[in-house]
A and B are shown apart, each in its own frame.
Chain A
Amino acid sequence: MSAEVITERRLNMIEAINEALGIMLERDPDVIIMGEDVGYFGGVFRATAGLQAKFGKTRVFDTPISECGIIGVAVGMGAYGLRPVPEIQFADYIYPGLDQLVSEAARLRYRSAGDYIAPLTVRSPFGGGIFGGQTHSQSPEALFTHVAGLKTVIPATPHDAKGLLIAAIEDNDPVIFFEPKRIYNGPFSGYYDKPVEPWKKHPDSVVPEGYYKVPLGKARVVQEGEALTVLAYGTMVHVAEAVCKAKGVDAEILDLRTLVPLDIKAIEASVEKTGRCLIVHEATRTSGFGAELSALVTERCFYHLEAPVERVTGFDTPYPHSLEWAYFPGPVRIGEAIDKLLKD
């Protein structure tokens, strides 16, 4: 983080994202924003509210309902020299754009030997916990971390959402920027039957004014601890934090912030210290990003481990509607894994 002016100004995650977009539109005439309903209406989650009115229709505009078109056009605009920030309304709807991301944006620098780049940042709300059923709840990040050439960024706080988004937009590689929509308006403890907390009460809702970056590839130590290391990102950072607090566990919690590039040094340092590692994500388990983390920790920290690495994830089913909270990797599932890790 550079040149931060600490103020007590508090924003929720949507406001922080909106501010980052406004700052980048202001600073860089090459930045443009497009997506379904992002223009006049300001986005179904209000992330682009007011931006078209301020920056005009050729910088912030609505698109046809065609994710293939949105991402393909963004690649073309990037080839011209613009810096597009397309929005895909829900991560669940990104799949028609997959060919343009996987075969085109991700490889353009490589296949043209740097002749062309695809400096796009694809913003998309992801994750569940809002009774969105199987088409408004998915966490498809592992599909993207598997693709060479893409970066995958997931903020967990308003402060980071703004700084990471600015860094992503300035990055010359294509970035998938997944926004955990469950925590747009407040951090979520995972205790779904308790009252919702607003961001105002959370220290990381203090968002400096103006331009600042949170660098890609740098994890955040949420809290230091000795008993075990928790690796999490997005919504699950807050759930893990709440569970560790409730159980009185002296956990070291890392918010990974970017999955690719991954802050492997921070992970190694923490696991070498604690000797135990819990990985938490909401996405389905099989071939999830947790599998990659587990392999890395096992490969690189094996002789420091005092227990097998534990993964807590969503189940390997489509995201259900009525049984959402039975699906969600909540406090009971996390608590069980912590007990298992600490039992010896």
Chain B
Amino acid sequence: MAGQGTSADSNRPALALHVPEPRFRPGDPADFSHIDIGCPGDQPRPDENVHPAQMTGLAYGLVRVLGDDNLAHGPWNPRLDPETLRRMLGHMAMVRAFDERMFRGQRQGKTSFYMKCTGEEATSIAPAMALASDDMVFPSYRQQGILIARGYPLLEMINQIYSNRADKLKGRQLPIMYSSREHSFFSISGNLATQCPQAVGWAMASAARGDSRIAATWVGEGSTAEGDFHSACTFAAVYNAPVILNVINNQWAISSFSGFAGAERTTFAARGLGYGIAALRVDGNDALACYAAAEWAANRARGNHGPTLIEYFTYRAEGHSTSDDPSGYRSAQEREEWPLGDPVNRLKKHLVAIGEWDEERHAIMDLECAETVKATTKEAEKNGILGHGLHHPFHTMFEDVYEELPWHLEEQAEQAIRERIAKFGTERPFG
């Protein structure tokens, strides 16, 4: 069937379909000189009750604090004391050590799946530190930094990753899809952007009840294409919800560069302005800028001035997940050439520059992180690794589908246990 509209009027110009294409593919040299990263300290810091229409410069520019001289500049300097800065660095180093070991664990067959956040550590840790510990967070799947910053035990994280008998989620969820109500950390979904309207709803409920807690959500730039994100923006604006919408622009959504989410046309922060939402675009590899932006947005929300959309401009230094091989679609040079450097290294250099840190202490810290993760991994392995029998009893598979077990699930549970006995001669729930 030929197209109904293929007979174009010859007096009109032929149209052409634009399909975005990233600048660099495997084997290409990477050169990011086209990206305008502005200057640290240049962006003004308006009052938290500013009207979104006054934020155009902040939505299209880049809030930066740490300069090439490794010092903090301008009005967005959050003026954190050295102890807080060291704690922030420690969290970031811990996340990196954790990611390294868990990635390796997946390669060794201890679990099915893992996702690193290498290069993006600041975008979860700094905002988590700027929020109150009981502010509710609705993360995506790359915000392990929030759990680390909130003191969630590494052992629980690894138990979940191994889906073992100590996993608090009972082996039901894919690795890294954590949940901890105790840490005001919402259950992570594998489906994209679904958490955005949920965060807005939580914030609306908090406002309706006259609570003082706010909500924050994280979503990748690729996932902002989902309708859920736009519904979230609409509701956040309509109800002036006390919520922070964090868009982690790490340039890549599996193999699709940010152009497939609209980055060739505008910034992700600028989306907020169209909805009437305050908008900030921030250097996501600058932990101080990340902290300052989150603190500003939290103050705005807490003051009943409404939502903020923050775009963290960063770079996904590793593959999407253990199932991905980025060498198949992007230039291997990109990571090295990224104009905004590495967030851990930049914070470290800042602390050294202000005389509050040195190479020796840093090396000791890295070693301690690695040792802690290693020891905790060993501890977790006592509870089992994926597929080696040390899982939850079969009956747990049927629990929590509903509050109470209906007859058909009770029958199916009996069936599952019968099958287990038929195959192994025992239910053998604990190996």
Residue positions of A touching B, CB distance < 8 A:
30, 36-37, 39-41, 44, 57-58, 61-69, 79-83, 92-93, 95-96, 119, 131-136, 172, 285-286, 315-318, 320-323, 326-327, 330, 332-333, 336
Contact = CB atoms under 8 A, between A and B. Distances in A.
Chain B CB count within 10 A is highest, among A30, A133, A285, for A133
Interface of B: 1-6, 17, 19-21, 25, 112-113, 163-164, 167, 171-175, 177, 189-193, 222-223, 225-228, 253-256, 260-262, 323-324, 328-329, 386-387, 391-392, 394, 396-398, 401, 408-409, 412, 415-416, 418-420, 422-423
Nearest to A135: B190
Chain B CB count within 10 A is highest, among A57, A67, A323, A327, for A323
A57 B5 CA distance: 20
A323 B5 contact: no
A44 B423 contact: no
Given A41-B328, A65-B222, A66-B227, A318 B261 contact: no
A82 B171 CA distance: 45
B226 A65 contact: yes
Given A133-B173, A322-B164, A327 B260 contact: no
Nearest to B220: A65
Given A315-B412, A317-B397, A65 B6 contact: no
Contacts of A83: 1
A133 B174 contact: yes
A333 B6 CA distance: 55
B231 to A, nearest CB: 11
Contacts, number: 162
B261 A64 contact: yes
Given A57-B19, A322-B171, A40 B1 contact: no
A101 to B, nearest CB: 14
Contacts of B394: 323, 326
Nearest to A193: B423
B9 to A, nearest CB: 16
Chain B CB count within 10 A is highest, among A37, A61, A82, A286, for A37
Contact of B190 (A81, A95, A134, A320): A134
Given A63-B260, A316-B409, A326-B397, A40 B222 contact: no
A166 to B, nearest CB: 16
Contacts of A64: 222, 225, 256, 260-262
Contacts of A286: 408
Contacts of B1: 30, 81, 83, 119, 172
A68 B227 contact: yes
B228 A96 contact: yes
A81 B2 contact: yes
Contact of A326 (B113, B226, B420): B420
